[in-house]
Amino acid sequence: MTKRFSDRVDAGRQLAGLLEGRVGPDAIVLALPRGGVPVAAEVARHLQLPLDVLLVRKLGVPGHEELAMGAIASGGVRVFNEDLLLRLAIEPEQVTRVEQAEQRELKRREQAYRGDRPFPVLKDREILLVDDGLATGASMRAAIEALRQFQPARILVAVPVAPPETVADLESEADEVISQLTPAAFYGVGYWYDDFTQTTDDEVTALLAKHPEAG
Protein backbone atom coordinates (compact mmCIF):
# COMPACT_ATOMS: atom_id res chain seq x y z
CA MET A 1 0.00 0.00 0.00
CA THR A 2 1.20 3.51 -0.81
CA LYS A 3 2.61 5.31 2.23
CA ARG A 4 0.29 7.76 3.96
CA PHE A 5 1.26 11.01 5.67
CA SER A 6 1.21 11.06 9.46
CA ASP A 7 -0.17 14.63 9.46
CA ARG A 8 0.03 17.89 7.50
CA VAL A 9 3.47 18.75 8.90
CA ASP A 10 4.83 15.43 7.69
CA ALA A 11 3.18 15.99 4.31
CA GLY A 12 4.80 19.42 4.08
CA ARG A 13 8.23 18.03 4.84
CA GLN A 14 7.91 15.37 2.18
CA LEU A 15 6.56 17.85 -0.36
CA ALA A 16 9.41 20.27 0.39
CA GLY A 17 11.93 17.58 -0.44
CA LEU A 18 10.22 17.04 -3.78
CA LEU A 19 10.34 20.77 -4.52
CA GLU A 20 14.04 21.32 -3.85
CA GLY A 21 15.70 22.94 -6.86
CA ARG A 22 12.37 23.49 -8.65
CA VAL A 23 11.62 27.02 -7.45
CA GLY A 24 13.77 30.15 -7.46
CA PRO A 25 15.09 31.96 -4.37
CA ASP A 26 12.70 34.90 -4.87
CA ALA A 27 9.54 32.79 -4.98
CA ILE A 28 6.70 33.16 -2.50
CA VAL A 29 4.68 30.34 -0.93
CA LEU A 30 0.92 30.97 -0.83
CA ALA A 31 -1.26 28.60 1.16
CA LEU A 32 -4.96 27.89 0.74
CA PRO A 33 -6.40 28.09 4.26
CA ARG A 34 -6.97 26.46 6.43
CA GLY A 35 -5.62 22.97 5.82
CA GLY A 36 -3.01 24.10 3.33
CA VAL A 37 -1.25 26.36 5.84
CA PRO A 38 0.57 23.70 7.94
CA VAL A 39 1.73 22.03 4.72
CA ALA A 40 2.86 25.31 3.17
CA ALA A 41 4.57 26.41 6.39
CA GLU A 42 6.85 23.37 6.25
CA VAL A 43 7.55 23.96 2.56
CA ALA A 44 8.39 27.62 3.20
CA ARG A 45 10.61 26.76 6.18
CA HIS A 46 12.51 24.06 4.31
CA LEU A 47 12.98 26.15 1.15
CA GLN A 48 13.59 29.36 3.13
CA LEU A 49 10.84 31.28 1.34
CA PRO A 50 8.28 33.78 2.64
CA LEU A 51 4.81 32.49 3.44
CA ASP A 52 1.38 34.07 3.06
CA VAL A 53 -2.19 32.95 2.46
CA LEU A 54 -4.49 33.26 -0.53
CA LEU A 55 -8.10 33.27 0.57
CA VAL A 56 -10.58 32.14 -2.06
CA ARG A 57 -14.34 32.01 -1.62
CA LYS A 58 -16.47 30.29 -4.23
CA LEU A 59 -19.64 32.08 -5.32
CA GLY A 60 -22.23 29.32 -5.56
CA VAL A 61 -25.30 29.48 -7.77
CA PRO A 62 -28.35 30.15 -5.55
CA GLY A 63 -30.07 26.83 -4.92
CA HIS A 64 -27.16 24.93 -6.45
CA GLU A 65 -24.31 26.14 -4.25
CA GLU A 66 -21.92 23.39 -5.37
CA LEU A 67 -21.93 25.00 -8.84
CA ALA A 68 -19.54 27.97 -8.99
CA MET A 69 -20.70 31.06 -10.84
CA GLY A 70 -17.54 32.87 -9.79
CA ALA A 71 -15.07 33.44 -6.99
CA ILE A 72 -13.54 36.20 -4.90
CA ALA A 73 -10.03 36.15 -3.50
CA SER A 74 -7.44 38.03 -1.45
CA GLY A 75 -6.28 41.29 -3.00
CA GLY A 76 -9.72 42.36 -4.18
CA VAL A 77 -9.99 39.82 -7.00
CA ARG A 78 -13.43 39.04 -8.49
CA VAL A 79 -13.84 36.48 -11.28
CA PHE A 80 -17.12 35.35 -12.81
CA ASN A 81 -18.28 32.61 -15.16
CA GLU A 82 -20.12 34.91 -17.54
CA ASP A 83 -21.33 32.05 -19.76
CA LEU A 84 -22.92 30.31 -16.77
CA LEU A 85 -24.54 33.54 -15.55
CA LEU A 86 -26.12 34.06 -18.97
CA ARG A 87 -27.13 30.43 -19.46
CA LEU A 88 -28.89 30.23 -16.09
CA ALA A 89 -30.27 33.78 -16.37
CA ILE A 90 -29.00 34.65 -12.90
CA GLU A 91 -30.09 38.14 -11.91
CA PRO A 92 -27.41 40.69 -10.88
CA GLU A 93 -29.18 41.11 -7.52
CA GLN A 94 -28.72 37.39 -6.81
CA VAL A 95 -25.03 37.61 -7.64
CA THR A 96 -24.65 40.66 -5.38
CA ARG A 97 -26.29 38.91 -2.40
CA VAL A 98 -24.03 35.88 -2.69
CA GLU A 99 -20.93 38.00 -3.20
CA GLN A 100 -21.68 40.21 -0.21
CA ALA A 101 -22.10 37.18 2.05
CA GLU A 102 -18.82 35.65 0.89
CA GLN A 103 -17.03 39.01 1.12
CA ARG A 104 -17.95 39.19 4.80
CA GLU A 105 -16.37 35.80 5.46
CA LEU A 106 -13.34 36.66 3.32
CA LYS A 107 -12.78 39.88 5.28
CA ARG A 108 -13.22 38.08 8.60
CA ARG A 109 -10.54 35.55 7.69
CA GLU A 110 -8.26 38.21 6.19
CA GLN A 111 -8.39 40.13 9.45
CA ALA A 112 -7.88 36.99 11.52
CA TYR A 113 -4.92 35.72 9.48
CA ARG A 114 -3.22 38.82 8.13
CA GLY A 115 -4.24 41.57 10.54
CA ASP A 116 -2.80 44.86 9.26
CA ARG A 117 -0.24 43.27 6.95
CA PRO A 118 -0.80 44.29 3.31
CA PHE A 119 -1.36 41.73 0.60
CA PRO A 120 2.02 40.83 -0.96
CA VAL A 121 3.21 42.11 -4.33
CA LEU A 122 2.83 39.24 -6.82
CA LYS A 123 3.48 40.87 -10.20
CA ASP A 124 6.36 39.18 -12.08
CA ARG A 125 6.91 36.85 -9.13
CA GLU A 126 7.11 33.06 -8.99
CA ILE A 127 4.30 31.67 -6.85
CA LEU A 128 4.23 28.29 -5.13
CA LEU A 129 0.55 27.60 -4.43
CA VAL A 130 0.07 24.92 -1.75
CA ASP A 131 -2.87 23.01 -0.28
CA ASP A 132 -3.12 19.82 1.79
CA GLY A 133 -4.54 17.91 -1.17
CA LEU A 134 -6.94 18.14 -4.08
CA ALA A 135 -10.15 16.30 -4.85
CA THR A 136 -12.00 17.99 -7.73
CA GLY A 137 -9.53 20.90 -7.77
CA ALA A 138 -12.35 23.50 -7.90
CA SER A 139 -10.89 25.72 -5.16
CA MET A 140 -7.40 25.48 -6.62
CA ARG A 141 -8.71 26.34 -10.08
CA ALA A 142 -10.37 29.45 -8.65
CA ALA A 143 -7.14 30.34 -6.85
CA ILE A 144 -5.11 30.07 -10.05
CA GLU A 145 -7.63 32.19 -11.96
CA ALA A 146 -7.51 34.79 -9.20
CA LEU A 147 -3.70 34.85 -9.16
CA ARG A 148 -3.54 35.44 -12.91
CA GLN A 149 -5.07 38.87 -12.27
CA PHE A 150 -1.82 39.85 -10.50
CA GLN A 151 0.35 38.93 -13.53
CA PRO A 152 2.83 36.62 -11.76
CA ALA A 153 5.82 35.24 -13.62
CA ARG A 154 4.90 31.63 -12.89
CA ILE A 155 2.38 29.62 -10.86
CA LEU A 156 3.46 26.23 -9.55
CA VAL A 157 0.79 24.20 -7.73
CA ALA A 158 2.13 21.76 -5.13
CA VAL A 159 0.09 19.33 -3.02
CA PRO A 160 0.77 16.11 -1.13
CA VAL A 161 -1.99 14.10 -2.81
CA ALA A 162 -4.45 14.40 -5.70
CA PRO A 163 -6.16 12.07 -8.17
CA PRO A 164 -4.34 11.88 -11.51
CA GLU A 165 -7.29 13.29 -13.47
CA THR A 166 -7.37 16.42 -11.29
CA VAL A 167 -3.64 16.93 -11.77
CA ALA A 168 -4.09 16.56 -15.53
CA ASP A 169 -6.95 19.09 -15.55
CA LEU A 170 -4.99 21.66 -13.57
CA GLU A 171 -1.94 21.36 -15.79
CA SER A 172 -3.81 23.41 -18.37
CA GLU A 173 -4.40 26.14 -15.77
CA ALA A 174 -1.09 26.39 -13.86
CA ASP A 175 2.44 26.49 -15.24
CA GLU A 176 3.30 23.31 -13.35
CA VAL A 177 1.47 20.92 -11.01
CA ILE A 178 3.33 18.69 -8.56
CA SER A 179 1.64 16.07 -6.39
CA GLN A 180 3.59 13.75 -4.10
CA LEU A 181 0.96 11.02 -4.50
CA THR A 182 -1.43 10.54 -7.42
CA PRO A 183 -3.38 7.39 -6.49
CA ALA A 184 -5.83 6.04 -9.05
CA ALA A 185 -8.00 4.80 -6.18
CA PHE A 186 -8.27 8.14 -4.39
CA TYR A 187 -10.98 7.83 -1.66
CA GLY A 188 -10.62 11.50 -0.62
CA VAL A 189 -7.79 13.68 0.71
CA GLY A 190 -8.26 12.70 4.36
CA TYR A 191 -7.76 9.01 3.56
CA TRP A 192 -4.05 9.63 2.96
CA TYR A 193 -3.46 11.20 6.37
CA ASP A 194 -3.28 9.35 9.68
CA ASP A 195 -4.22 12.64 11.38
CA PHE A 196 -6.46 14.93 9.32
CA THR A 197 -7.80 17.05 12.19
CA GLN A 198 -9.27 20.35 11.01
CA THR A 199 -6.84 23.26 11.20
CA THR A 200 -8.11 26.16 13.32
CA ASP A 201 -7.92 29.91 12.70
CA ASP A 202 -5.59 30.24 15.70
CA GLU A 203 -3.21 27.64 14.25
CA VAL A 204 -3.16 29.46 10.92
CA THR A 205 -2.37 32.78 12.62
CA ALA A 206 0.40 31.23 14.71
CA LEU A 207 2.04 29.57 11.71
CA LEU A 208 1.97 32.78 9.66
CA ALA A 209 3.53 34.72 12.53
CA LYS A 210 6.56 32.40 12.55
CA HIS A 211 7.51 33.12 8.93
CA PRO A 212 8.95 36.24 7.27
CA GLU A 213 6.43 38.52 5.64
CA ALA A 214 6.06 38.11 1.93
CA GLY A 215 6.45 41.82 1.15
**This prediction's pTM:** 0.87
Sheet containing strand 51-53, edge to edge, reads 51-53, 28-31, 126-130, 154-161, 176-181
| 2-13 burial: b if 16+ Cβ within 10 Å, else e | eebbebbebbbb
Backbone angles phi, psi at 116, to 5 degrees: -95, 0
Q: What is the tens place of the pLDDT at every residue in 153-201? A: 999 999 999 999 999 999 999 999 999 999 999 999 999 999 999 999 9
The amino acid at 135: A
pLDDT band, very low/low/confident/very high, at 47 (cuts 50, 70, 90): very high
Element holding 154 (H helix, E strand): strand 154-161
Q: Any idea which fold 57-114 has? A: Ybab; Chain: A; (3.30.1310)
Residues of the chain with CATH 3.30.1310: 57-114
Q: What is the CATH number of domain 8-55+117-209?
A: 3.40.50.2020
How far apart are alpha carbons 105 and 212 in whole angstroms?
A: 25
